[in-house]
Structure 1
Amino acid sequence: MTAIMKYDELANLADDPREMFQEVAHALVAAGELHRLFDLRLLQERHRHGLPLDRRTPIDDVEEPLRSQVEAGYLAACREVGELLLESGRLREAWMYLRPAGDKFSIRKRLASAVLDDQRADELIELALFEGIDPERGYAWLLSRNGTCNSITTLDGMSQQLDAADVRACAGVLLRHVYRELHGNLRGHYNKLKGSPPPSESSVGQLIDQYPELLAGGNYHLDVSHLQSTVRYARLLTDSALVEKAYEISDYGSRLPTDLQYPGEAPFEDLFAAHRRWFGALLGRDVEEAIQYFETKARSEGDDPRSTAAVETLLILLLRLERADEALAAYRELVTKERELSTHAPTLLELARASGNWERYETICRERDDLLGYASGLLARHA
């Protein structure tokens, strides 16, 4: 700083604090001392409001309305320094300041143009995925760097921390990645058998339908646990093209030898075959059979409040098939007052809104003596 501005020149501005702060700020920016710039801005705020300059008075001890004014200055300083650090390419440092300011947009935009290389990979993945700035991009980077096994384990550990939209986005990334791997391995096997590659447009489903020899003799082409995790997460997806890929993976898995058919969790104990029914129904294939299958699973749960996965699965399937009135009827029959569903399941109010059957909704509320639910329905119905 001294090469840019002499200390005696700064002393001459002692009677003009505003100009002095501005000159010091210019000097710090020029020197790249942006963390010191943040300290300067906090000092400036304290001076402006007549607070002690040694920062021994916590902001929480400052009374309103002054506290709100000081906090606003603090956030403005965070944005200023964060943006300057972004411009310098110091993304991790920038996030230290942009996070309290609630500004994901600026750093998310910068991540979109970032190039993943050995030097910055850990930093970029940490920011995008683990800091939740752009989980979809971060998860794609993680897959490309660490592979499928590690990335599935990471998603399992993070899925409760991410919001539903971000988990769904990561599920899409995982599905496309695993589908490409399976597709590539099947094509490679075909080429080995036939001495030439299969038609370029052949999908996974077409390959296993048209060339059963690919699965002959207990052959498999990808770690089965990776396929299982992929279809499990794929249940979150609604895009028809992705659902089709999930169906093809499930169909492939259902054709594997019995000793590779590892059981899943209810109601997907027969993991690949059950998922094949699920995705097939969403694609308009054997819809009634799938509904009957999952309804049977839901009824077999009984009314055990600790076991709700099957009935939740049925409700979700019916709602996604745009059969909300049937879902509402199933809710009335299968979900007792004492049975609490998880946050993944549609609520009674959501089913009523989707079906438009407010009369049935109100009947259910009366049967359960649910005055709050009844009031919520009245508000939603007349909104």
Structure 2
Amino acid sequence: LMAGRDWMFESGSYHIDVSHLNSVVRFARLLPDKDPHLSKVIELCEYGSRLDNQFQYPGETPFEDFYPAHLHFFKALVGNENDQKMGIAYFESKLEQEPDEDDKQMIAYAMIDLLTRVGKNDRAIELAEKYLSQFEDPNTFSFTDLCLKTDHLDVLQRVARGKGDLVTFAGALLDAAQAQSQPQES
């Protein structure tokens, strides 16, 4: 729709309530991985990226550069292998360059969400162990839940032992023993 129509954006023109556009793109991160609407969200990000700077409201870390950052996120989620690599590299770069520890946690949180959704659980666990191992909130993120869902009980045991959390450590040991005793499906 926008290809070859640069005139659509001249003189700060826009064609949709930009606060609604911003909200739709932000909430689209909650869509399931294979949702057919994600391709439309990518188009909305492309549209938003072409708006005049006065209409590109900054987001929260790591989505300060709102539409381009979301474009990387969604293309990594549903695009080809190269899109996935580029999206992950975009957020990796933000993480490496961020001096603020709280913002590093926010970037890691977004990356963990993306990485688990594209099946890169080992990298997600590495980041979670480094940046979010102390974080337990059943409404947003739980390091324990991530370890359980991605079958990384060894990491949960190591972190629990390091924190002196004997209850979680014992629970992780029991879960690991139970998983080993169950017959493997072929």
Aligned to 1:283: 78
Aligned to 2:119: 322
Aligned to 1:359: 154
C-alpha displacement of 1:336: 5.2
Aligned to 1:232: 26
Deviations along 1:62-114, one digit per CA (max 9) or x if unpaired, are xxxxxxxxxxxxxxxxxxxxxxxxxxxxxxxxxxxxxxxxxxxxxxxxxxxxx
Verify the 8 A CA contact 1:315 1:327 in the aligned structure 2: yes
1:258 and 1:342 map into 2 onto residues whose CA distance is 37
Deviations along 1:14-57, one digit per CA (max 9) or x if unpaired, are xxxxxxxxxxxxxxxxxxxxxxxxxxxxxxxxxxxxxxxxxxxx
TM-score normalised by structure 1 residue count: 0.41
In structure 2, the CA distance between the partners of 1:251 and 1:341, relative to structure 1 (3 Å rule), is farther
* Aligned residue type for 1:303: E
Aligned to 2:16: 222
Any gaps of 5 or more consecutive residues in structure 1? 1-206
Deviations along 1:112-140, one digit per CA (max 9) or x if unpaired, are xxxxxxxxxxxxxxxxxxxxxxxxxxxxx
2:158 and 2:22 map into 1 onto residues whose CA distance is 41
Return the index of the structure with the highest Cα Rg.
1
Structural mapping, 1:1-383, within 5 Å: 207-238=1-32, 239-285=34-80, 286-299=83-96, 300=98, 302-304=100-102, 308-335=105-132, 337=134, 343-345=139-141, 347-381=142-176, 382=178
Higher RCO (CA 8 Å, separation ≥ 6 residues): 2
C-alpha displacement of 1:223: 1.1
C-alpha displacement of 1:302: 4.3
Deviations along 1:315-336, one digit per CA (max 9) or x if unpaired, are 1111111111111111111225
2:106 and 2:22 map into 1 onto residues whose CA distance is 17
* Aligned residue type for 1:343: N
* Aligned residue type for 2:84: V
Equivalent residue pairs, number: 174
* Aligned residue type for 1:252: Y
1:268 and 1:342 map into 2 onto residues whose CA distance is 23
In structure 2, the CA distance between the partners of 1:302 and 1:377, relative to structure 1 (3 Å rule), is farther
1:275 and 1:374 map into 2 onto residues whose CA distance is 37
Verify the 8 A CA contact 2:133 2:159 in the aligned structure 1: no
Any gaps of 5 or more consecutive residues in structure 2? 180-186
**Deviation above 4 Å: which 4+ runs of structure 1?**
339-342
* Aligned residue type for 2:117: R
C-alpha displacement of 1:359: 2.3
1:232 and 1:265 map into 2 onto residues whose CA distance is 10
